């Protein structure tokens, strides 16, 4: 394994750590953490039975990290990931859950620094309500974010500033230089490139956001993105809680987004879409219904810009995940966020003490482009529990695609998927 593959961000953390000897060491805090995870998924595609080796993928991941403070102003974080097949490909699976290594070998053990950052909050100054986070990190914004659904997570070399000087307003500004996002695998390990998945013509990205709570019970969030030489993007969402009675309240939400190609993609049409949802609690169940619609004149999916390739104009195939309300596990940014798509979703979730959490969700997506994977229904049944200190999640997915050839996927009508994720935190 090549443990020398660290970014400038990692060296920054090491530099600050070494300078800690000049500080009052009593002010330095250290919080280590680790997780071991095993991920397995079976699919009855290409004529294979559900649990056959040919239709299964699996991998193991070890994550270890540390966070802490140097003093009241400076903090740090460092995290390392190691992904390995454990030899599962010899008899249980035929594929892995993340991208191939730099030599194109998907079965090779991979290791990389997934996080390496410092934080700074000016102490006792006019900027004391401002926090800077500099280095390799995870991001959580509507159209540029870290995806958590697969075995590994994508991360970014970025600078993020958060300010809360204005009452009821959080201002966010970010510059993103590179990332290791990939459309299907989520993470390409140590292969950090220009912003986006293989986005050779993108030269980084900027984002600014305002998260407001001016009106009680009605948070409104607005974001603007500049994907350098590629596109501009806008996002806005709002949630309102309507209390009908002491024991009955409704969560009502609305969202709107747009991606506007420019520069090398200037010839492509703008994409835009909106969504609405309503949710409430009925007995022990939290229930939700949602509808989204994408303008059919667009080109690029309204999805995670960090896991799609817009450099060659193929963004319409979709980023993997999307903030649109109607996304399911697989019928997500690659379907509901595609220009011309209309989708709806219903969901019910319940927690049972001592047993676990149950989720059932169903969505349906239609699109006039007649692409089968853009015209699909999906049912997800999810059960999450904790046994002997191990977090376990079991997921069954059934997709019913429109009749016809399914491009580049090998899927058939009424495809079944079964996923198991086991994780132990240390």
Coil vs helix vs strand at 14 = helix
Q: What is the mean pLDDT of residues 262-269?
A: 83
Q: For the segment 139-165, what is each residue's pLDDT rounded down to a tens digit?
A: 999 999 999 999 899 999 999 999 999
pLDDT band at 8 (very low <50, low <70, confident <90, very high): very low
User: pTM for the complete prediction?
Assistant: 0.88
Task: Report whether pLDDT(300) > 50.
Answer: yes
The confidence score (pLDDT) of residue 189 equals 83
Q: Identify the weakest region by mean pLDDT among 56-60, 404-408, 422-426.
A: 404-408
Q: Are 313 and 299 in contact (CB under 8 A)?
A: yes
Q: What is the CATH number of domain 8-425?
A: 2.40.160.10
Q: Three-state DSSP class for 46?
A: coil
pLDDT interval class at 4 (50, 70, 90): very low
Q: Identify the pLDDT of residue 117.
A: 98
Task: Locate the domains of the chain by residue range.
Answer: 8-425
| Cβ neighbours for 273, distance < 8 A, ≥ 6 positions apart | 256, 257, 258, 292, 293, 294, 295, 298, 302, 324, 337, 339, 341
The mean pLDDT of 156-177, rounded to a whole number, is 94
- Enter the tokens of residue 7: 């970014």
Q: Phi/psi of residue 123, each to 5°? A: -95, 130
Going 132 to 137 to 140 to 144, the CA torsion angle's sign is positive
pLDDT of res. 183:
76
Give pLDDT, residue 182: 81
What is the C-alpha separation between 300 and 298, in angstroms, rounded? 6
| Long-range contacts, stretch 364-367, CB < 8 angstroms, 24+ apart | 365/326, 365/331, 365/335, 365/336, 365/341, 366/341, 366/342, 367/335, 367/338, 367/340, 367/341, 367/342
Mean pLDDT (whole number) for 154-179: 94
Measure Cα distances from 87 to 96, 109, 360 in Å.
Answer: 11, 10, 33
pLDDT at 76: 97
pLDDT at residue number 405: 46
Residue among 336, 327, 404, 345 at smallest CA distance from 366: 336
pLDDT bucket at 410, cuts 50 / 70 / 90: low
Measured CA distances, 64 to 36, 102, 116, 415 (Å)? 9, 23, 12, 36
Residues 402, 403, 404, 405, Cα dihedral to 10°:
60
55 contact partners, CB below 8 Å, separation of at least 6: 42, 43, 44, 45, 46, 48, 49, 94
Burial tier of 102 (Cβ tally within 10 Å: 0-12, 13-18, 19+): middle
Report the percentage of the chain scoring pLDDT > 70. 86
Tell me: the pLDDT tens digits for 321-364?
Answer: 999 999 999 999 989 999 999 999 999 999 999 999 999 999 99
At 379, is the pLDDT very low, low, confident or very high (cuts 50, 70, 90)? very high
The helix or strand, by DSSP H or E, that contains position 349, with its residue range, turns out to be: strand 341-352
Residue range 31-35: mean pLDDT, rounded: 97
pLDDT of residue 9: 47
pLDDT at 309 over 70: no
Q: Is 105 exposed, middle or buried (0-12, 13-18, 19+ CB in 10 A)?
A: exposed
> What pLDDT, on a 0 to 100 scale, did the predictor assign at position 10?
47
Cα(334)–Cα(210) distance, rounded to whole angstroms?
A: 28
pLDDT at residue 70 above 60?
yes
Q: Is 80 exceeded by the pLDDT of residue 15?
A: no
Q: Chain-wide mean pLDDT for the chain?
A: 86
Q: Residue 237 pLDDT more than 70? A: yes
Check residue 228 and give its pLDDT.
83
Give residue 164's pLDDT.
Answer: 92
| Residue 221: strand pairing partners | 211, 237
Q: Looking at residue 358, what is its pLDDT? A: 98
Q: Three-state DSSP class for 390? A: strand
In this structure, what DSSP letter does residue 11 have?
Answer: H
3-state helix, strand, coil in the chain (%, to 5): 10, 50, 40
- Asked whether residue 3 carries a pLDDT value surpassing 80, the answer given is no
- Going from the C-alpha of 11 to that of each of 1, 82, 156, 191, 324, the distances in angstroms are 19, 19, 15, 17, 37
The mean pLDDT of 236-265, rounded to a whole number, is 89
Question: What whole-number percentage of the chain has pLDDT above 90?
Answer: 55
| Cα–Cα nearest to 331, from 380, 368, 369, 283 | 380
Cβ proximity of 341 and 335 under 8 Å: yes
Q: State the DSSP string of 205-256.
A: EEEEEEEEEEETTEEEEEEEEEETTTEEEEEEEEEEEEEEETTEEEEEEEEE
């Amino acid at each position: 394994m090549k443990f020398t593959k660290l970014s400038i961000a990692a060296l920054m953390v090491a530099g600050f750590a070494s300078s800690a000897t000049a500080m009052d060491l009593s002010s330095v805090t250290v919080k280590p953490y680790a997780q071991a995870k095993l991920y397995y998924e079976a699919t009855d595609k290409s004529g294979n039975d559900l649990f056959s080796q040919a239709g299964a993928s699996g991998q193991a991941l070890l994550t270890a990290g540390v966070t802490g403070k140097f003093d009241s102003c400076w903090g740090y974080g460092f995290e390392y990931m190691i992904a390995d097949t454990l030899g599962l490909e010899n008899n249980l699976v035929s594929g892995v859950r993340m991208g191939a290594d730099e030599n194109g070998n998907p079965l090779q053990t991979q290791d990389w620094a997934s996080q390496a950052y410092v934080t700074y909050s000016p102490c006792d100054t006019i900027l004391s309500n401002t926090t800077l986070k500099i280095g390799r990190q995870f991001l959580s914004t509507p159209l540029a974010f870290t995806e958590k659904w697969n075995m590994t997570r994508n991360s970014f070399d970025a600078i993020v500033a958060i300010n809360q000087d204005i009452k009821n307003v959080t201002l966010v500004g970010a510059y993103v230089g590179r990332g290791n996002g990939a459309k299907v695998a989520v993470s390409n390990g140590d292969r950090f490139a220009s912003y986006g998945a293989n986005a050779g013509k993108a030269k980084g990205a900027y984002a600014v956001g305002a998260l407001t709570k001016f009106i009680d019970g009605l948070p409104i969030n607005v974001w603007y993105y500049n994907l350098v030489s590629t596109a501009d993007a806008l996002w806005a969402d709002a949630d309102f809680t309507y209390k009908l009675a002491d024991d009955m309240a409704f969560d009502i939400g609305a969202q709107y987004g747009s991606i506007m190609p420019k520069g090398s993609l200037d010839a492509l049409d703008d994409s835009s879409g909106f969504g609405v949802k309503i949710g409430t609690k009925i007995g022990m169940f939290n229930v939700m219904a949602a509808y989204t619609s994408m303008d059919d004149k667009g080109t690029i999916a309204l999805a995670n810009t960090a896991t799609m390739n817009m450099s060659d104009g193929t963004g319409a195939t979709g980023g993997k995940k999307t903030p649109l309300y109607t996304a399911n596990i697989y019928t997500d940014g690659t379907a509901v966020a595609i220009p011309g798509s209309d989708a709806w979703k219903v969901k019910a979730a319940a927690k049972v003490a001592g047993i676990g959490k149950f989720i059932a969700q169903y969505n349906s997506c239609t699109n006039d482009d007649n692409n089968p994977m853009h015209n699909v229904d999906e049912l997800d049944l999810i059960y999450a529990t904790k046994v002997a200190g191990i977090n376990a999640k079991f997921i069954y997915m059934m997709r019913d695609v429109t009749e016809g050839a399914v491009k580049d996927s090998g899927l058939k009508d009424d495809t079944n998927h079964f996923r198991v994720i086991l994780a132990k935190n240390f």
